[in-house]
Structure 1
Amino acid sequence: MSSRSEQTRNRIYQAALEEFAQYGVSGARVDRIAREAKANKQAIYLYYGDKEKLFTLVLGRALEELAQAVPAPAESDDIATYVDRLFTYHKDHPAILRLLLWEALEHPGVPVPDEAARTEHYQHKARALGKAGALGGQAAAELDPQALLLMFTALVGWPLAVPQVTRMVMGDGPDAMDRVKAAAVAVAQSVKGTPR
């Protein structure tokens, strides 16, 4: 693939990421994506097919970037550090949570595209969490790593996904998200019972 073609695909990806995060699949418009990406509308259909396929590819790429930036915890990792990195990444990349919320709204109660591969990714993370150093001792025997992964994901994601609720609970001071992050990290540290 030529560098020009790659640059066009990257511009389309960025424009589609923002469009889908703002409007979901149903509300997104390919003509706005094309205009923002400075690309031909027909090129978008040629590269990606329809809007649903484009959304699936955009979400998939965003999740791959997240997985690379915040890999599953290693055996020696401190889970609190993992939660800290996950919170920071989602705070810096808010579109991912919005894409996931749109996906849930537009695919209620039915399997989503690439569900099998994404399920395996989450199961890998849960297994890694179960083996990670921070779940040593009693916690490893008593806590379900799959449930913990879901709880840690919710702990990180919910305050960022519903900023209006976070504002109502935490106030709108400049340190509100820092306080939420500190609480999430403290909860993760308490799972093992390690002192802060």
Structure 2
Amino acid sequence: MGAIRDPEATKARIFAAATAEFAARGIAGARVDRIAREAKANKQLIYAYFGNKAELFSQVLEKRLMELAVANPVDAEDPDGWIDRLFDYHAAHPELVRLVFWEGLEYGTGGIPHEDERRGHYARKVAAFAEAQEKGVISDAVPAQDLLFLMIALASWATVQPQMRRIVVGDTEGDLARLRSSLRTAARRLTERCP
């Protein structure tokens, strides 16, 4: 009797292997045969499940973004706490930021696969900041969409550029604690209401 196939377990192994491969090599540099080997899956099965390498990348990135959204929902009423948690998430899951940057390198300013879904994802976060601004909880000096973009950039840049962080900021526990405090201060200043 042959082995029982578990499509969900196979897809989970493919996603894990694809995450590592895409984070390390980007879309163009990734190889489906390496993903298949690491996932212990048939290469043709990957194509059957996902169609092509670009679609696999897109689905991997969307899944990782949704995991972030679930693990760290936007909290526009506590922006310095939210940025602190976002900083921690990116430090613990650097592959997510790498995937986002590979996507940027591959697609540039052109459209991305499943862009409407991504727009909806970010629109909900922008709406949370806009609502906090309307309630007067945070400043409306910076438009909500710009504020979200700035906050994400603040929280992710240390993970995107670890060598710059090490050279400019330092790499000791004290250096990282100081950077974290500075990020919280920056988030607070971007959002605090003037008296």
- State if a TM-score over 0.5 links the two structures: yes
Name structure 1 gaps, 5 residues minimum: none
2:146 aligns with 147
Deviates more, 1:117-126 or 1:152-161: 117-126
CA positional deviation for 1:176: 3.3
The answer as to whether partners of 1:20 and 1:99 remain within 8 angstroms in 2 is yes
Please give the root-mean-square deviation of Cα atoms over the aligned residues, in Å. 2.2
Matched, 1:124 2:124: yes
2:186 aligns with 187
Q: TM-score, normalised by structure 2?
A: 0.89
How many residue pairs end up in the alignment?
A: 190
Measured in 2, the distance between the counterparts of 1:79 and 1:100 equals 22
After TM superposition, list the pairs within 5 Å mapping 1:57-136 onto structure 2: 57-73=59-75, 77-132=77-132, 136=136
1:130-172 Cα deviation digits (max 9, x unpaired): 2238x836723x2211111111011011111011111110123
Going from structure 1 to structure 2, the CA distance change for 1:175 and 1:49 (only over 3 Å counts) comes to farther
Identity %: 42
Going from structure 1 to structure 2, the CA distance change for 1:36 and 1:138 (only over 3 Å counts) comes to closer
The answer as to whether partners of 2:84 and 2:180 remain within 8 angstroms in 1 is yes
Going from structure 1 to structure 2, the CA distance change for 1:30 and 1:192 (only over 3 Å counts) comes to closer
Measured in 2, the distance between the counterparts of 1:95 and 1:32 equals 17
CA positional deviation for 1:49: 1.2
Q: TM-score, normalised by structure 1?
A: 0.88
2:169 aligns with 170
1:53 aligns with 55
Deviates more, 1:77-86 or 1:170-179: 170-179
1:23-70 Cα deviation digits (max 9, x unpaired): 001110111111111111111111111101100110111111111111
The answer as to whether partners of 2:138 and 2:192 remain within 8 angstroms in 1 is no
